[in-house]
């Protein structure tokens, strides 16, 4: 705890920033304010009435309950960045009336609004609007600062707003309290001096520095490692990071029925949904890389276990290498169980900072590797379904969560599997760096991923080798670019 | 069982948790929740569980009995 004097003479209790916040701050420095890596732009809309006055009141109440919606930052000579919580928000919640333009035009405009630079020091970080759209849709638009919130905390905050709103308009129960941010932060800050930190460092050193070298597996049909091996035949890592983080977005859907089949299969076989989706992803990477058995990708871990972590806002994401070596003789189900074991080990050691992970990774890489040489072409996260209770049928049926991607990606391809608000079906959001242009490749990649997932769901005892054959890239697909 | 319920209540907000409450179906516990709970159960109840135990013992009651048998 530090007593920080602000430019206006006020003294506040401030704290250093956590490891995930340090990572985001470093990205801001690396890419600059204009690169939008710190923008979270999202919306939640439904077809039906919205009492704008009550919604505004509900949003303000929810901000009062969520400390990191009232977070501010201050530069500091010792700590670089300090954070503090203000007791009240100064946010003005305005209404945007887009009912006069088409939904498509409205969303383009709303996306533009979320692309304005997010502020940093001594000021409100976030902005929320009430939105009126065409065709009877209404909702909320969020432009949030990623150093203070992430996708999970944004969803919990949205849920809180809606539960408060429904309490006032329908008389349903007022939501249970959110949790204070500072105790969760103090636990994070204490981590660096804890036994767990030492245990995590040892685990990752043993996992990364003492095992065989992984191999890069690409999501592009024109495999970049193959290209680099023309010059460096023994290379197993790849140099794929372009200078520009400019990113595009593609969303691929599974139907609600397909999603339910996956869930039913997981329930019946006692499998983790996240591990099952990871299995589909690594199978697609395997197919794209001559049925390579040794596949790695970056797993993004949310790190929210207990309620204090789930309901205290903030940013808690961290990245870890997820490596699996799966024989074609293994069944889909057995492979998921293997992945689940790796996943659970990662979960047990997931607080180590990203930069420290990178350093441990590089200790074991060949001396020719550059700082951003990698074995991982893809980052992956799964966001479980979040249900907003007490919505009426029409609202629940028409509700839609929209992600306005900030147009900047810190990694070449980031796949988020999450659920559509309107029917719970899975959608796979591919946020990809535009250079080189992967848009054709991604449609093929998702086709392969989907086929692998549905084949394994239909018959979990099917051998991985058979799934690789059935999901293989066709000549037409390979030549269609 | 009350000790186990007290631990579970650190992870989910459920109106009522009974012996018949299912970890996945009723409480929606994720793999990450399970790993964290295993840690807390070890600290508070002195029993080391595995993630696979949550597949085998699907309800709070079944798990409580199993934990008791391991003490």
Identify the CA nearest to B38 among candidates B25, B52, B26: B52
Q: Which of residues 311-370 of A touch B (CB under 8 A)?
A: 340, 343-344, 347-348
Rounded to an integer, the average pLDDT of B4-19 is 93
- Tell whether the model's pLDDT for residue A140 goes beyond 80: yes
Task: Express each pLDDT in A335-375 by its tens digit.
Answer: 999 999 999 999 999 999 888 888 888 888 999 998 889 99
Contact in structure between A186 and A83 (CB atoms under 8 Å): no
Give the model's pLDDT for residue A405: 81
Q: Do B31 and A344 touch (CB under 8 A)?
A: yes
For residue B15, which residues of chain A lie inside 8 Å, CB to CB?
A: none
Instruction: Name the residue among A301, A307, A347 with its Cβ closest to that of B11.
Output: A307
- The CATH 3.30.559.30 portion of chain A extends over 194-479
- Helix (H) / strand (E) element for A304: namely none
Q: What confidence tens digit (pLDDT) does each residue in A199-223 have?
A: 999 999 999 888 899 999 999 999 9
Contact residues, chain B, for A343 at CB < 8 Å: 31
Cβ neighbours of residue A187 under 8 Å, at least 6 residues apart?
A: none
Mean of pLDDT values over A225-248 = 89
User: Per the structure, how many domains does chain B have?
Assistant: 1
In CATH, what number does A11-185 get? 3.30.559.10
Sheet holding A11-16, edge to edge: A2-5, A11-16, A80-85, A71-76
Residue A87 burial class via C-beta count within 10 angstroms: exposed 0-12, middle 13-18, buried 19 and up = exposed
Contact indicator for A402, A103 with CB cutoff of 8 Å: no
ipTM for the predicted complex comes to: 0.92
Interface with B, mutate which of A347, A350, A351, A385 (most B CBs under 10 A): A347
How much is the pLDDT for A215?
97
Structural contact between residues A100 and A134, judged by C-beta atoms closer than 8 angstroms? yes
What is the rounded CA–CA span in Å between residue A32 and residue A382?
Answer: 28
H/E element holding A131? strand A127-132
Residues of B in contact with A316 (CB under 8 A): none
Query: Residues with Cβ < 8 Å from A307, sequence gap 6 or more?
Result: A179, B10, B11, B12, B13
Q: Taking the model in full, what pTM does it have?
A: 0.92
The CATH number that applies at residue B12 is: 1.10.1200.10
* Strand A413-419 relative to strand A137-145, pairing: unpaired
Task: Determine, for residues B33 and A343 on separate chains, whether the beta-carbon distance falls below 8 Å.
Answer: no
CATH 3.30.559.10, chain A: domain bounds: 11-185
Identify the band that residue A35 occupies on the pLDDT scale cut at 50, 70 and 90.
low
* Interchain pair A274, B39: CB under 8 A: no
Say yes or no: B5 contacts chain A, CB-CB below 8 A.
Answer: no
Which of B13, B28, B33 is opposite residue A305, by nearest beta carbon?
B33
Which of A176, A307, A348 minimises the CB distance to B35?
A348
Task: Residue B51: give the domain boundaries.
Answer: 2-70
Instruction: Name which CATH class applies to A194-479.
Output: alpha beta
For residues A367 and A130, give the distance between their C-alpha atoms in angstroms, rounded to a whole number: 54
Cβ proximity of A120 and A73 under 8 Å: yes
Q: What is the pLDDT of residue B43?
A: 93
Distance CA B11, CA B8 (A): 5
């Amino acid at each position: 705890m530090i007593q920080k004097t602000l430019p206006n003479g006020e003294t506040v209790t401030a704290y250093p920033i956590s490891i995930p916040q340090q990572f985001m701050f470093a990205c801001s420095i690396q890419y600059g304010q204009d690169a939008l890596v710190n923008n979270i732009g999202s919306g939640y809309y439904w077809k039906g009435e919205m009492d704008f006055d009550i919604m505004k009141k509900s949003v303000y109440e929810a901000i009062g309950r969520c400390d990191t919606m009232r977070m501010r930052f201050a530069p500091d000579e010792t700590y670089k960045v300090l954070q503090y919580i203000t007791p009240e928000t100064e946010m003005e919640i305005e209404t945007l009336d887009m009912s006069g333009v088409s939904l498509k035009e409205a969303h383009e405009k709303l996306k533009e609004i979320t692309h304005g630079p997010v502020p940093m020091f001594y000021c409100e970080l976030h902005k929320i609007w009430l939105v009126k759209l065409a065709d009877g849709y209404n909702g909320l638009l969020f432009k949030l600062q990623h150093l203070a919130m992430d996708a999970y905390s944004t969803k919990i905050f949205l849920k809180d707003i809606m539960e408060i709103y429904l309490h006032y308009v329908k008389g349903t129960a007022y939501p249970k309290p959110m949790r204070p941010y500072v105790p969760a932060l103090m636990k994070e800050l204490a981590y660096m001096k804890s036994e767990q930190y030492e245990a995590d460092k040892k685990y990752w050193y043993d996992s990364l520095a003492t095992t065989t070298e992984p191999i890069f597996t690409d999501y592009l049909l024109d495999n970049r490692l193959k290209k680099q091996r023309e010059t460096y035949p023994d290379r197993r890592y790849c140099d794929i990071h372009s200078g520009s983080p400019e990113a595009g977005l593609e969303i691929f859907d599974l139907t609600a029925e397909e999603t339910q089949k996956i869930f039913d299969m997981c329930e019946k076989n006692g499998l983790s949904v996240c591990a099952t989706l990871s299995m589909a992803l690594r199978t697609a990477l395997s197919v794209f890389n001559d049925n390579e058995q040794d596949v790695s990708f970056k797993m993004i871990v949310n790190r929210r276990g207990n309620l204090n972590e789930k309901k205290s806002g903030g940013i808690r994401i961290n990245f870890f290498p997820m490596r699996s070596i799966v024989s074609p003789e293994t069944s889909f189900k057995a492979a998921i169980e293997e992945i689940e074991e790796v996943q659970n080990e990662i979960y047990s050691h997931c607080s180590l900072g990203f930069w420290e992970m990178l350093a441990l990774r590089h200790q074991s890489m060949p001396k020719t590797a550059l700082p951003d040489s990698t074995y991982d072409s893809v980052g992956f996260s799964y966001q479980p379904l979040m249900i907003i209770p007490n919505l009426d049928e029409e609202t629940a049926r028409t509700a839609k969560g929209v992600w306005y991607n900030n147009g900047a990606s810190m990694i070449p391809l980031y796949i988020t599997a999450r659920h559509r608000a309107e029917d719970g079906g899975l959608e796979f959001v591919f946020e990809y760096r535009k250079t080189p242009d992967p848009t054709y490749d991604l449609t093929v990649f998702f086709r392969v991923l989907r086929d692998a997932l549905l084949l394994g769901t239909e018959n979990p005892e099917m051998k991985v080798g058979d799934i690789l054959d059935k999901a293989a890239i066709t000549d037409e697909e390979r030549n269609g670019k | 069982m009350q000790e186990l319920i007290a631990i579970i209540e650190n992870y989910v907000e459920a109106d009522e948790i009974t012996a018949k409450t299912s970890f996945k179906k009723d409480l929606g516990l994720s793999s990450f929740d399970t790993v964290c709970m295993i840690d807390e159960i070890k600290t508070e109840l002195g029993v080391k569980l595995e993630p696979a135990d949550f597949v085998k013992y699907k309800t709070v009651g079944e798990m409580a009995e199993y934990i008791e048998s391991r003490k």
